[in-house]
Amino acid sequence: MSYSKKEKYTGALIGAAIGDALGWPNEQNSKNISKNKNSIRTYVEWNRRAGGRYWPHEEKICVGEYSDDTQLIIATARSLLRGRQWSNFFRQAELPAWLKYERGGGGATKRAAQKWADNISPWDEKSNSPLEIKDYFMAGGNGVAMRIIPHIFKNEENIEKIMAQVVLNGMYTHGHPRALIGAMLYAMAVRTLIQQDAVLSYGELIDVLIEEEKQWSELPEVSNIAIWKCEAERYAQYDYDQIWNECVLETIDYLKIAKEALNQGILDLGHDTLQKLGCYNSRINGAGNVSAVISIYLFSKYADDPVMAIYETANLNNADTDTLASMVGGLVGALNGKDWIPIELRGVQDYSLFEYLIEQMMDEKCDFLNSDKQYQLFNNEKMATLEIGDSIECLPFGEITLKEIREDKPKRAGMYVKVYVWKTAYGQTIFSKKIGKKALNMEQTIPHTVEKKHSPEIQFTVQKLKDIKKLLIKVSDAADFVEILSEIVQMKIDDDISKEKIDEMKVKWKPYKITKKQIVSIYELL
């Protein structure tokens, strides 16, 4: 059966979202604390650890909700609606905003996005430490490959333009050849399937990718690439062109392993092949080129059963299942449109959004955001003042409406976690959080006079509290302010200003960067 370009484009996006939502609970780093792991054949509700050391809580993931993989595909698509300004919009608006609503984002992407939020490039030697720049150029994960599908839709007939855009997109977060080569290989695979009209023969996709190696293996000449490579050589201390060529050869070897396995037909033991491809090796299974080859292999192995291709990928043990299943889903949809999707999988979050995005991308006159309007930036604190039903216009989404307020389960006494569920005018769901300490009664927590045998009498005046507030200027949360002050009051009562006590406080309140000088100054004020 032949499918239109619109059907294939839509199918690729929906397929990616389906794979992401199915695979996320099983992903090796998902922090899933529920029991519904493995053998997943439908969407499940599950809970994951979140908040880190300082704000630990259980994050509830509802049925069919997707992770950062799909979020960044959407962000890429929305950027491309800005035309020639897509790259500026992606790094200046999409990546900084994504930090406010990301779900399960990878470390390299989050670190780079934070740099762009601070208006700094990750490789800028004036604003980054040598170690930070090195880490950027060593980032070779699949965070690029998983988000680049929309670039094919806008430039299907121009492979050179596709590859240039894919690399430019990738450079904003990842610097190592493995990340960029993996993204280019995956882009080539998606494009091949979109252009495929006839029935795909078994293993044909891998044959094409090996034969057309030049199309995806050469680093495009994007702006300032020579200077960028010099920075890599200086801080990561490797010859970029040499490592690039080595990664290309490595990737071709992986493709040949996959081809050899497929040539065995029913004798192909998928588990053994995946092991050879590094699927279960936590040290390399998240690499961009490794993930691209694994997804291409699994798609090819189950080419005649698209649903099974995604199920099998989503249920791999000790693997990056959300990204792999997302990438497999993108390939499945690129070939088969969306007719293959069973009714039980159409409940993926924001199902109708993807067709809207494709319609907009195919509309040459699309003007996604009104250039005459001044949009505010998406800001969790500011948005949390709104009530259900309220709407606001902000970058990069346009108009968003608050639909629901959930509460996640805190794992530390005295804290709260509120989840704000937003909906864009075109159907994307956005989750943002507000985390803090529950409000305390200051008069109950810190009496005006603290009495204890053999202890000093501590008086609080308005001026004294003002002076203390100046010393704790970075402590914006009132409850935290009260708790910090209470701890220093107790130190005064106990007459204990030891180094151990100070160090303990510094660690506990690390997010506010409280110093010894601040603690001692407040102690003396008391």
What DSSP string runs through 365-387? T---S-TTS-PEEP-HHHHTT--
Quick one: pLDDT at residue 38? 59
Reported as a single tens digit per residue, the pLDDT across 54-103 is 889 999 999 999 999 999 999 999 999 998 899 999 999 999 999 999 99
**CATH number of the domain to which 330 belongs:** 1.10.4080.10
45 with 174, same domain? yes
Quick one: pLDDT at residue 128? 93
Q: Which of 302, 368, 372, 313 is nearest to 335 (CA)?
A: 302
Q: Which of 320, 300, 296, 321 is nearest to 311 (CA)?
A: 321
Q: Which two tokens stand for residue 451?
A: 């009495």
Q: Under a CB-based contact definition with an 8 Å cutoff, are residues 67 and 79 in contact?
A: no
Q: Is 369 within the bounds of a domain?
A: no
Quick one: pLDDT at residue 451? 42
423 with 500, same domain? no
Residue 447 clears pLDDT 70, i.e. is over it: no
177 with 257, same domain? yes
338 with 465, same domain? no
Q: Is 371 within the bounds of a domain?
A: no
Q: Is 370 within the bounds of a domain?
A: no
Reported as a single tens digit per residue, the pLDDT across 382-420 is 777 889 999 999 999 999 999 999 999 998 888 999 999
Q: What is the mean pLDDT of the chain?
A: 90
Q: Which of 362, 390, 417 is the last residue of a domain?
A: 362
Reported as a single tens digit per residue, the pLDDT across 122-165 is 999 999 999 999 999 999 999 999 999 999 998 899 999 999 99
Q: Which of 437, 469, 490 is the last residue of a domain?
A: 437
Q: Is 255 within the bounds of a domain?
A: yes
Q: Is 492 within the bounds of a domain?
A: yes
Q: Which residues contact 271 (CB under 8 A, 6 or more apart)?
A: none
Q: Which of 44, 39, 74, 41 is nearest to 61 (CA)?
A: 44
Q: Are strands 415-424 and 391-395 parallel, antiparallel or unpaired?
A: unpaired
- What would the mean pLDDT of 48-52 be, rounded to a whole number? 90
DSSP type of residue 445: H
Q: Is 96 within the bounds of a domain?
A: yes
> To the nearest whole percent, how much of the chain has pLDDT over 70?
95
Q: Which residues contact 174 (CB under 8 A, 6 or more apart)?
A: 108, 109, 112, 136, 139, 140, 141, 143, 144, 180, 288
221 with 123, same domain? yes
454 with 328, same domain? no
- What would the mean pLDDT of 341-367 be, rounded to a whole number? 91
485 with 465, same domain? yes
Which domain covers residue 433, as residue numbers? 376-437
Q: Which of 48, 92, 97 is nearest to 71 (CA)?
A: 97
Distance CA 18, CA 22 (A): 6
The arrangement of strands across the sheet holding 409-410 comes to: 46-50, 57-61, 409-410
What CA–CA distances, in Å, run from 481 to 27, 237, 252, 424, 503? 38, 45, 58, 36, 18
151 with 225, same domain? yes
Q: Looking at the 3D structure of the chain, how many domains does it have?
A: 3
Q: Is 183 within the bounds of a domain?
A: yes
334 with 251, same domain? yes
Q: Is 367 within the bounds of a domain?
A: no
Residue 10 clears pLDDT 90, i.e. is over it: yes
Query: Is 0.85 topped by the overall pTM?
Result: no
Q: Which residues contact 245 (CB under 8 A, 6 or more apart)?
A: none
Residue 292 clears pLDDT 80, i.e. is over it: yes
312 with 397, same domain? no
404 with 287, same domain? no
Q: Are strands 415-424 and 429-437 parallel, antiparallel or unpaired?
A: antiparallel
242 with 391, same domain? no
Q: Under a CB-based contact definition with an 8 Å cutoff, are residues 102 and 71 in contact?
A: yes
Reported as a single tens digit per residue, the pLDDT across 243-280 is 999 999 999 999 999 999 999 886 677 889 999 999 99
Q: Which of 387, 420, 437 is the last residue of a domain?
A: 437
